[in-house]
Chain A
Amino acid sequence: MGADNSTASADATTGDDALLAVDEVVKAFGGLVAVDGASFDVERESITGLIGPNGAGKSTLFNCITGVHGPESGSVRLNGDEIQGLSPTEVARCGVGRTFQTPKTFRGMTVRENLAFAATNQTGERALGPLLQSGTVRSEEHEVQTRVDETLEFLELDHLADDYGSALSGGQRKLLELGRVLMMDPEIILLDEPVAGVNPSLTDDLLRRLEELNDHGRTILFIEHDMDIVMQHCDRVVVMHNGTTLASGAPDIVQNDERVVEAYLGGYA
């Protein structure tokens, strides 16, 4: 796949500073090879877009990175440490936060509870915590709630704080899921189509927030179809097609790569 990667101008320079390094990952379901030797890096503090036509294997690759699927082969490294083979829980604890294409909102919990759930290292999450260390639990919970308030404000969901997850629209659920990931305070945020189904005004909001987060030093990798968005907001773009990474690099370079155009439009123009 070296040939593929060579087209991506930035690759050579990112190797050292890669926060997430995906190398030759293969995942098959029965006879169907969904991811077929995908390799790319995500630079620290970058916004990277993962694009490609339907069925290219983008979501499957996300699942491989986050431990949902055990890939057949290949490696996934975070900060140089192998995270392939860890369970989703462990991957998350390593600092990888992700959202789903269809948000998995806690529908029977309020927006506030959804967010508070995601805070890490809560003493109150131990069964005996509330009984034996009620002081600690209270003060931690106070802190968590403060962060929840901040997150709500940041996502402009404050007016929905006490609504149930089931009452939210699709776009609001996407936001909420992003909020949950933020509460986790991960090193890298993986977003699966964060704006699909979100109405346009919210979309702009959401993207603005992603950039804001990035400005504060967060690394973001997201799957997106909307080329406009990818071009405007990404530092780097990775293109997947038929389970492999076709190209990666700066948006304008990728955009004009003939093979990308062909993959994307099936030879259009």
Chain B
Amino acid sequence: MGLDTFLQAVVSGLIEGSVIAVGAVGLTLSYGVTRFINFAYGEFLTYGAYLTVFLAGGLFGVSLPLPAAAVVATVVVGALGVAVSRTFFEPISDRGALPLLITSIGVSFILRNLLQGWVGVDARQLPIPLLRRQDYFGLFRLTHLELGVIAASVVTMLTIHLLLQRTMLGKRMRATSGNRSLAKTAGIDTTSVIRQTWFLSAAAGALAGVLYAVLFSPFRPGVGFEYLIVIFAATLLGGIGRPYGAMLGAFCIGLAMNFGSTYLSANYTRAYAFLILVGVLLLKPEGIRGGEF
């Protein structure tokens, strides 16, 4: 295994890291303001991917072009996120993090199985053409789609960065994350900020689902839940509640998974993410505690 293999592992790691990053940022945004770990987050990925397939595949009577379908799906899932929050989480928001966490497990069961019951367990995939990898500088090989995924991820990161730093909404979100009670004191309607964050979080999840589907079709209704732990790993690695950390964590996890697969054993791909996560938790049990952004 020479340099080629090494570079290819790097590239594959970055590609997968791009997908994880979008998912991890979404998860961490919602953690930043709600302060509980949302086990139902994976379902946003699933719904994003499925909705895109349906919208692009004409299931609802329209056949949107793929990018349009992805955008619509992202927005719809964002709205779903708000609905989920209002239905399940807001009513118990004053009860501490644990009831919220346990509720989120129930919510993930509900969402996943509703989808499965409705559309069945058939594997689905996006209607996209298959591409052969192109050689870049004779060093590594990428398909245009993979480039596109990286680009989409970078654009998303940049958008979220600008949103957080430059817009009033972003500042409100950061303020709410930094100190919820002070945010209210400063006149911020924190309830609505939290809802807006849910929207963004779920939409980012959906987008991650779409990117996942672009790279890793076909998939089944369990896809989001299975990928959730990888996203958890990235989120925690970067410091939960910290979007920039999540981005960094995502690339680390992506690289770790792909290096592990290449050089150790491909059978334990998921395990590398887990073990890194647990290792970090052990080394810095307090240090990674979140986290405001």
The answer to A–B direct touch (Cβ < 8 A) is no
